[in-house]
Amino acid sequence: MKLCHLPDSVILYILDYIQDISKLLVLNRKYYELIQSVVDRFLGMVQRRDLFLIKVPVAASTDCEIVAISNSQKVQFFNNYIQPKVLFIGGTQEHRKCDLFDVRSGVFKKSRSLNFKRDDEFDAILHLGLVFAISGSQQSSLGRVECYNSVQNIWIEQLSLPRALVSMSSATFRGNLYVIGGNDAVPVCDMGVIRCLYSFVSLPHSYCLSLHSTGGYDIRGNNRSSDVYRLTEDVLVYSEDELSSTNAHSSDMWPKCAVALRTGRSHHSCIAFNDKIWVVAGVTMDSVYASNQVELLDPVVGTSEVGPSLNKPRFSPHLLILDGILYCIGGDMNGPIRSIGSIEKFNPFTNSWQYVTSFPTKRTKGAIFGYGSRIYLFGGSNAACPETMTTWDFYCTRTHRWASTAQTPSIDGHHLVDKLSSFQGRDKGINCTKAIVMDYAEVNR
């Protein structure tokens, strides 16, 4: 018998039974799709397709629950209930430290620490509800991967990359996670080899690694990789016991794709946009200087093509998509702490990049993230302030205005301007830190 026109209270009561398995949503896409199909069938039976589900954290708990709300409640719910959080990961100041930043209150709260030190040359990305931290310049983290489960508040080590790559970049594309390019970290016997690299002033500072030990790793430009690796989700582990007992190998979890970059590349940035992975800037195999070259990659089809070049060469830029527009932010020039304090955006009508704005304060190696229509810049350093900066700026892409630490509340009445005068809870600052926006609200339409 077909159910119809049930009261909201009954619908919500039935949906409560789903919350016990909501933790699986962040572990495996197969469970996510299964739950979504079951819920869609149920809502179809009761003729209430105007309802949709949101997974939210339970107060003072690491658990989550699923609630159903109507379209008319959507805006109010997101404004009043969902508290956007940003996970700040590692960095040169505090290698294993992680903090959750509340965008509304402007306060950092301590989160579970990384298993391995990650101070530079690593990448972090959100994929299937898990945050992946990949490799790093510390000897203990070279090629090693771990992922953060926000529901259980734990970092879980995964199988390492097949190679000890650093300065690579990652992207989520068509439901898969890819690790692209990077430098092979080649062991050297004498730290003198590493020290002599600093005499080449034309090379960017982060070409040279100095591990505080009798040995080190040379990540000079001639070791750049063009390989693309794909994460195999079936090999993911969810506990230390699973990792120790698995029979899988690194090549099982990270098989190499048939397609490769047109040239080896490191210190670049990747993002999925317009049905391609955009591989932007960095340093290519045939150069020791920052590049403005862009490559468009499709590892599913197995194609690679040249994309529209940036206006400025950039070393370690940051890519964001806000309101459907692709932005390339910051980066370095060819030298230590030589910041490119500007933003470009891609114009699909002219198939070219165009200048947007310059930073109020030049900064490099800071934490960058986007939320809503704003681009946030935290910490970092510059030539005038080689030590870690304790200031922040944000740019509103709709009003085309900047707000900074020193400003009074004037732009959009934004909460950060009058609440975040310094990095509350992050006393040692932010440098080479990754910032990942945690999407606590998952909407199943």
The residue among 60, 80, 100 that closes a domain is 80
> Given this model, what pLDDT does residue 304 score?
94
Q: Are residues 40 and 157 located together in one domain of the fold?
A: no
Long-range contacts of 349-356 (CB under 8 A, 24+ apart): 351/308, 352/308, 353/308, 353/309, 353/310, 353/311, 353/328, 354/311, 355/311, 356/327
In a domain, 1, yes or no: no
Asked if 281 contacts 331 with a C-beta cutoff of 8 angstroms, the reply is: yes
* CA 25 distance to own-chain centroid: 19
In terms of pLDDT, which residue wins out, 435 or 20?
A: 435
Q: What's the total number of domains in the chain? A: 2
Q: Are residues 58 and 128 located together in one domain of the fold?
A: no
In a domain, 2, yes or no: no
Q: Are residues 22 and 139 located together in one domain of the fold?
A: no
Q: Are residues 239 and 384 located together in one domain of the fold?
A: yes
The residue among 80, 112, 131 that closes a domain is 80
Lowest-confidence segment of 46-50, 117-121, 295-299 by average pLDDT? 46-50
Q: Are residues 283 and 379 located together in one domain of the fold?
A: yes
Q: Are residues 140 and 273 located together in one domain of the fold?
A: yes
Q: Are residues 326 and 249 located together in one domain of the fold?
A: yes
In a domain, 369, yes or no: yes
For residues 253 and 161, what is the distance between their CA atoms, to the nearest angstrom?
A: 8
In a domain, 116, yes or no: yes
In a domain, 317, yes or no: yes
Q: Are residues 122 and 154 located together in one domain of the fold?
A: yes
For residues 89 and 432, what is the distance between their CA atoms, to the nearest angstrom?
A: 9
The residue among 80, 102, 123 that closes a domain is 80
Q: Are residues 261 and 375 located together in one domain of the fold?
A: yes
| Percent of the chain residues past pLDDT 90, beyond the cut | 38
Report if pTM > 0.85: no
Q: Which residues of 152-181 are buried (b: 16+ CB within 10 A; e: fewer)?
A: bebbbbbbbbbbbbbbbbbbbbeebbbbbb
Q: What is the CATH number of the domain that holds 90?
A: 2.120.10.80
Range list of H helices, 269-329: none
> Given this model, what pLDDT does residue 128 score?
81
In a domain, 366, yes or no: yes
Q: Are residues 212 and 143 located together in one domain of the fold?
A: yes
Q: Are residues 143 and 70 located together in one domain of the fold?
A: no
Q: Are residues 63 and 89 located together in one domain of the fold?
A: no
In a domain, 62, yes or no: yes
> Given this model, what pLDDT does residue 155 score?
94
In a domain, 68, yes or no: yes
Extract the tokens encoding 275: 């049905």
Query: Whole domain around residue 65: which residue ranges?
Result: 8-80
State mean pLDDT over 371-389.
Answer: 81
